[in-house]
Structure 1
Amino acid sequence: MVMQQAVIILVALLAILIAWLASNATEVKPGAAITVRKHYSVNSTLLSPALSSSFVKSAPDAGLLEFLEQSRAATNSTPGVLLMLAKSTVFRSLQRYLGWTRPDASGFLSMASLYVGSEEQFRSILPPSSPGGGLLDVGSGTGSETAKIASALSVSPEDVTCLESSVQLQRTLRSRGFRAPDAPPAGGSYSAVSLLNVLDRCDDPHGALQLAIDSVAPGGTVLVALVLPFSALVHEGKFLSKWSKANTRKPLKPFKLARGGGNKPFEEGMASFLATLAAEHPRLELERWTRLPYVSSGDTKKSHYIMDMALMAFKVGPGVIGEKWEGERGGKEEEFVGEDAGEVAGEVAGEDAGEGAEEVADKDAPQAFEEEEPPAMPEACRNKKDDKLFSFLATTLKRDAGAGWGDVLDAGGGFGSLCWLLRQSGVSTVTEVTAATDGIYGSNDLTRAAAALPHVSIEAGNWRDPAFLPGRTWDVVVADYLLGAVEMHWPHGADGMMDRLLATVKPGGYLLISGLEPYEFVLDMDKPADRLVLDVESIGESAAFIAGESTYREIPMEWVVRQIERFPEEFRVVGSEQFVMKLSPKSLTSQIKYAKSTAKKIRDPAFKRAFLERVAVLEKEVNAWKGVNKNGRNYGIVVQRKI
């Protein structure tokens, strides 16, 4: 009797559930149509020549058409809609009441599947062969796309390692014959590492990229798929989360775009992403890329969803990763830390397309590493690193020129720029010019350092002399903080120096300029931290003026651009960028030392005493200051001489 009552109650509850599902079931609308013009093409006028030339045009394929038909058929009947609605209800319940993650709930219920590309589309941008062996796929989901990449690379399933946070999806991956460990493998020498739509859904995108770089063999491939415009959200399981949508938050270590982002055109989003990548991971060299629709099978509202996606294949080069450059400038040490010029605050409204978006588990960022310098590298270069400004110049040049550097003139040579140039591939010869004899910019030390480098020559001279290197031209000319130092060797000669620089560039060649925005352009005297920097800077320069000493005179970026725009038919600005400069107590202490030593050269005793007293007051303020000023700016400009 009790059993019969239980069966009746169960049947009644099931009937109520079916009735509820039927009453809430609505007609599923078809997803947006996919067209070549909208989803596979790019506007080449918005791309640099190098980025345009590396683009591979794709088109809808048979695999995508089959995927769309399966998605349509799954919701083309009342039973299909009821099943989809039931799964959606359980999917949300698992996250709200059990705190399951989105991938775990999706994997358990076999929810929406995703389509990135066909095997042929992967093969069209991947290299014919790569060193090492095997494939590492980060954020594999169900493994459907992993299998295509493995086939395109001719990698057997047993040589495929998948990293997936969902325990349920790990089981699915193992059933396909892939390895699916619970944690990232230590080291590795894979021929390729793939991250398909992972970077915008994980807590540490730079850590995920560094994992890929560390895991691939030198010269191997990193394959990245990314929805553009870039918008990062992390989905997580949370008990009693909102019923209407999966619990989301911003990443713990966000991927900050170097230039804009948000609702920008696809092409601008691509350029912004690559600029950030070049600054943070300069070893990644873009080989080929394509534009594809990122398609998710549908739900109770639409048969499928579409987002714009870039699929990119990078070669892992031998570059050295570096985040900070420190150097002395006439006794005034500056510390530069490249930071992103902007941060995208935009967030995609609502949920991701479909309920089964994949995510990678939050892992601790692996430690960055430096490769051993080649034996011919001078000892003075072994501990120097390339900052984001140097990376911007090199990457912008590569994107626009495509070919190697050729013959290079370092028009204001020093160990910072020399060491950077020695690390660039494609440099045939380097001519280092300096007007000094001693110090890190001096011809004596540079000559000793380059003695074992037959492709490096040191030229001592002053550009104000018309007889110095007359008529010679180079493929690439570098002016690394040169314009700010002109005043010391060519008073009021900044415009003349610009003319000399432009004249040394071969037709079709490039001029790379770095500089420091004058403090008075970017700092505010009414702000205490800015006032201290301005006071320390001005006391040193004033002391030098009264002592009859030459000093630096920084040139603003807008002035440099105006000089180039005088010749619109002959030169064009390829790209320019400003970078945050960190001024620490250490750098201000160095400037205090410069001011003190310069003030001692003042001949008038009263002036000297007054200056030294003021320097002593500022020195106490600097010693008491524990902060870091990030209001300063340095800049990089890439210019081409037209053919």
Structure 2
Amino acid sequence: MAIKLHSPLVRLIYEKFEHTQEHLESTHEYWYTVRSNLLSKYAMDRFIQAHQDEETTLFLKSCFDKSNWLFTQLYHTISRSILTWFMTLTSCNGLLNRGSMFVFSSTLFRYLLGVDENWKAQKLLDLGAGDGRVTMRMAPMFDEVFVTEISPVMRWRLRQANFTVLEVEEWDKAPAAGSTTARQYDVVACLNLLDRCASPLTLLRRMHTVLTPSTGRLILALVLPLTQYVETTPKNEPLEVMEVSKSRAWEVQFDSFLTNVLQPAGFELLRWTRVPYLCEGDFSRSFYSLNDIVMVVKPFDYPPRLHIS
């Protein structure tokens, strides 16, 4: 029997209670499953099944706890409504230290790379690192961690975390005056940035040039179904469009992304998985989630030799 709630505040509290009860004890298997009949053999041969592990569960618990901080959430709501008149939502979240994201655990990161817990490499570059919370899960595996971020407030947060912040147009340039060799990284992370940057195709080509030869790996995360949105362009539209299928089935879009975007950019898919892209919530929801596809890819020599079917 439906409950009629006439007060907007009471309705909000009740809906949040229902949301919490639905997710509090769930292992969310549906976040990680795929419809294999909609995917190519090429994609399924490289699929790795993920699940809600301990780090994911702890992040969700933190979301539930923070969402119940009534006065903090009220302060954030009022402050955000004022600050977004003067700055982007990303910078607003950075200033308020709210809205942290979760993509994958350190355990899943290693599993996708195909390395054990003792593995360590020299250089990581995390593009569009936000407040650095996701970077922190990868950082212990590297001697040096470099990050980029377009938001001035987020760059301040990243420096607070002791990451080396590079300018958004300098990360693929020679590191010193007079040097002709571009920077090179063992791993480049580009997590949920392609659909939020103005020139994603150019970005893919730039990342191709900075990976350590033979061993360099690119970690891509992409929210599907695809919606390109850019905070910094006049109409929030990208300068370059990623040509993927118009189907609303994310699996179909993923296959077309591999064929139409990733392969022409010179990358070969090694492994991939499906995870939730989680964000800390607010007074009305403990957390928010989007469907996220995480890929590990490597450069291959031109011309491409792959055929996806």
TM-score range, shorter chain: 0.7 to 0.9
SS at structure 1 position matched to 2:274: strand
> Corresponding residue for 1:314?
297
1:64 equivalent in alignment to 2:59: no
1:165 equivalent in alignment to 2:150: yes
1:231 equivalent in alignment to 2:251: no
What letter is aligned with 2:189?
S
Partners of 1:116 and 1:131 in 2: CA distance? 21
Distance 1:278 1:169, change over 3 A: closer
What letter is aligned with 2:79?
V
What letter is aligned with 1:273?
F
Determine if contact 2:46/2:271 at 8 Å carries over to the other structure. yes
2:78 to 57, 81, 89: 89
Greater RCO, 1 or 2 (C-alpha within 8 Å, sep 6+): 2
The Cα RMSD (Å) is 2.6
User: What is the CA-CA distance between 1:92 and the residue it aligns to?
Assistant: 2.8
1:120 equivalent in alignment to 2:136: no
**Deviation digits for residues 97-152 of structure 1 (CA, Å, limit 9, x no counterpart):** x2x1222111111121111010011111114399984011101011111122233x
Residues 140-151 of structure 1 mapped to structure 2, 5 A cutoff? 140-151=129-140
Partners of 2:56 and 2:289 in 1: CA distance? 12
Distance 1:210 1:127, change over 3 A: farther
Partners of 1:200 and 1:149 in 2: CA distance? 22
Partners of 1:105 and 1:56 in 2: CA distance? 36
What letter is aligned with 1:319?
Y
Partners of 1:25 and 1:115 in 2: CA distance? 28
Distance 1:102 1:24, change over 3 A: farther
Partners of 2:109 and 2:227 in 1: CA distance? 24
What letter is aligned with 1:95?
T
1:175 to 160, 181, 187: 160
Partners of 2:231 and 2:27 in 1: CA distance? 30
Partners of 2:227 and 2:259 in 1: CA distance? 16
> Corresponding residue for 1:206?
201
2:246 to 260, 263, 283: 260
Partners of 2:114 and 2:29 in 1: CA distance? 26
**TM-score of the pair, normalised by structure 1:** 0.41
User: What is the CA-CA distance between 1:175 and the residue it aligns to?
Assistant: 2.1
Determine if contact 1:294/1:309 at 8 Å carries over to the other structure. yes
% of aligned pairs identical?
Answer: 27
Partners of 2:130 and 2:93 in 1: CA distance? 10
What letter is aligned with 2:258?
L
Q: Which runs of 5+ in 2 are unaligned?
A: 1-8, 174-181
> Corresponding residue for 2:178?
none
**Deviation digits for residues 28-60 of structure 1 (CA, Å, limit 9, x no counterpart):** 443563655411121222222221121111110
1:135 to 124, 128, 133: 124
What letter is aligned with 1:167?
P
Distance 1:85 1:61, change over 3 A: same
SS at structure 2 position matched to 1:251: coil
What letter is aligned with 1:190?
Y
1:192 to 187, 196, 199: 187
Partners of 1:280 and 1:56 in 2: CA distance? 24
**Deviation digits for residues 182-205 of structure 1 (CA, Å, limit 9, x no counterpart):** 343212111111100011111111
Partners of 1:94 and 1:24 in 2: CA distance? 27
SS at structure 1 position matched to 2:212: strand
User: What is the CA-CA distance between 1:288 and the residue it aligns to?
Assistant: 0.5
What letter is aligned with 1:116?
V
SS at structure 1 position matched to 2:44: helix
Query: How many correspondences in the alignment?
Result: 282
**Deviation digits for residues 594-638 of structure 1 (CA, Å, limit 9, x no counterpart):** xxxxxxxxxxxxxxxxxxxxxxxxxxxxxxxxxxxxxxxxxxxxx
Partners of 2:79 and 2:210 in 1: CA distance? 38
1:49 to 38, 41, 48: 41
> Corresponding residue for 1:275?
259
Q: Which runs of 5+ in 1 are unaligned?
A: 1-22, 239-247, 321-390, 400-573, 575-643
Distance 1:46 1:215, change over 3 A: same
Residues 201-600 of structure 1 mapped to structure 2, 5 A cutoff? 201-219=196-214, 220-236=216-232, 249-257=236-244, 259-261=245-247, 263=248, 265-281=249-265, 283-319=266-302, 394-396=305-307, 399=308, 574=309
Partners of 2:233 and 2:71 in 1: CA distance? 25
Partners of 2:134 and 2:61 in 1: CA distance? 18
User: What is the CA-CA distance between 1:83 and the residue it aligns to?
Assistant: 2.0
Runs of 4+ that moved beyond 3 A: 23-26, 31-37, 127-133
Partners of 2:101 and 2:120 in 1: CA distance? 29
Determine if contact 1:101/1:237 at 8 Å carries over to the other structure. no
User: What is the CA-CA distance between 1:231 and the residue it aligns to?
Assistant: 1.0
Partners of 2:10 and 2:191 in 1: CA distance? 35
User: What is the CA-CA distance between 1:25 and the residue it aligns to?
Assistant: 11
